[in-house]
Structure 1
Amino acid sequence: MSKMILYIVSNLESSEITNQLYNILRNINRREFRPKIITLLKEPEDSVYEDFERLKIDIYSLGLSRTKLWLKGKRILAVTCEELQPDIIHTIGYDADILAVKYLSKFKHCSTICNFPYEEYTTALGKIIGKIRDKRYVKYLFKMNCPIVSSYSLRRKLKECYDVNAYTIPNGVDEIYFSPVDKLEISRRREKLGLDTTKRIFISIASMSKIEDPLTIINAFQRANISNFATLVLLGYGPLLKKCKKYNSEGIVIKGKVDNLREFLKCANIFISSSKSEKLSVSVLQALNCGLPVILSDTKCHREILNKDNTVGNKFSVGSISELKEYFRYYTRCSLEYKSKKARIVGETFYGSKIICSIYERMYTQIISQGII
Structure 2
Amino acid sequence: MSQNSLHIAHVVHRFDTGGLENGVVNLINSLGSEEYTHSIVTLKGHSTDFAARIKTANVKFYDLAKKDGNDLSIFWRMNQLLKQLKPDILHTRNTATLELQLVGWWRRVKLRIHGEHGWDVNDMHGQNLTYRKLRKLLKPFIHQYIALSKEARDYLLDIIKVKPERLNHICNGVDKSKFSPKKDITRTSPFVIGCVGRLEDVKNHVLLAEAFVIASKQTQGKVDIQLQLIGEGSCRDKVESILTANDCIKASWLAGNRNDVAALMTEFDIFVLPSLAEGISNTILEAMACGLPVIATNVGGNAELVQHDHSGYVVNVSDPQEMAERILDYVGQPELKMQHGQNGRALVEQKFSIQVMTSAYNNLYRTGKPAILDPGSNTLP
Query: TM-score of the superposition, structure 2-length normalised?
Result: 0.77
Deviation at 1:155, TM superposition (A): 1.6
The aligned residue for residue 21 of structure 2 is 18
Matched-pair contact (CA < 8 Å) for 1:121–1:131: no
1:8 maps to: 10
The Cα of 1:142 is off from its aligned counterpart by 5.9
- Give the aligned partner of residue 193 of structure 1: none
Q: Do residues 78 (structure 1) and 82 (structure 2) align? A: yes
Q: How many angstroms apart in 2 are the aligned matches of 1:310 and 1:2? A: 47
Q: CA deviation at 1:256?
A: 5.8
**Cα-Cα RMSD:** 3.3
1:36 to 22, 35, 38: 38
Residue 271 (structure 1) shift: 0.9
Counting only pairs closer than 5 Å after superposition, residues 1-373 of structure 1 correspond to structure 2 as: 2-10=4-12, 12-29=15-32, 33-40=35-42, 43-52=45-54, 54-59=55-60, 61-66=61-66, 70=74, 72-82=76-86, 86=88, 88-92=89-93, 94=95, 96-104=97-105, 106=108, 107-116=110-119, 119-121=120-122, 136=134, 139-141=137-139, 143-164=141-162, 166-183=167-184, 197-224=188-215, 225-227=218-220, 228-246=223-241, 247-248=243-244, 249=248, 252-255=251-254, 257-260=256-259, 261-299=261-299, 301-307=301-307, 311-334=310-333, 335=335, 336-367=337-368
Displacement of 1:201 in angstroms is: 1.1
Kindly tell me: are residues 146 and 120 of structure 1, through their superposed partners in 2, closer, same or farther at Cα, counting changes over 3 Å?
farther
97-106 vs 168-177, which moves further = 97-106
3-state SS, counterpart of residue 118 of structure 2:
coil
Which ranges in structure 2 are unaligned for 5 or more consecutive residues? 372-381
CA–CA distance in structure 1, aligned partners of residues 297 and 82 of structure 2? 44
Q: Give the drift of 1:151.
A: 0.7
Whole-angstrom distance in 2 between the partners of 1:199 and 1:101: 53
Identity %: 17
- 2 CA distance for matches of 1:329 and 1:251? 19
- Check 1:77–1:369 CA distance in 2 against 1; reply closer, same or farther (3 A cut): farther
Structure 1 residues 42, 211: CA separation in 2 closer, same or farther (over 3 Å shift)? closer
Deviates more, 1:197-206 or 1:209-218: 209-218
| 2:356 match: secondary structure | helix
CA distance 1:141–1:276, shift in 2 (3 Å): farther
Distance between the aligned counterparts of 1:369 and 1:345, measured in 2? 27
Distance in 1 (alpha carbons) for counterparts of 2:37 and 2:210: 47
CA contact (8 A) 2:150 2:301 kept: yes
SS at match of 1:277: coil
261-270 or 34-43: bigger deviation: 34-43
Report if the CA contact (8 A) 1:14-1:47 is conserved: no
CA distance in 1, matches of 2:250, 2:114: 43
Shift of 1:237: 3.6
Corresponding residue SS for 1:349: helix
Cα separation, 1, equivalents of 2:62 and 2:203: 35
Deviations 1:285-333 (A, max 9, x none): 11111111111222352221134x8521122223223322321221002
Q: Is the 8 A contact 1:147 1:167 kept in 2?
A: yes
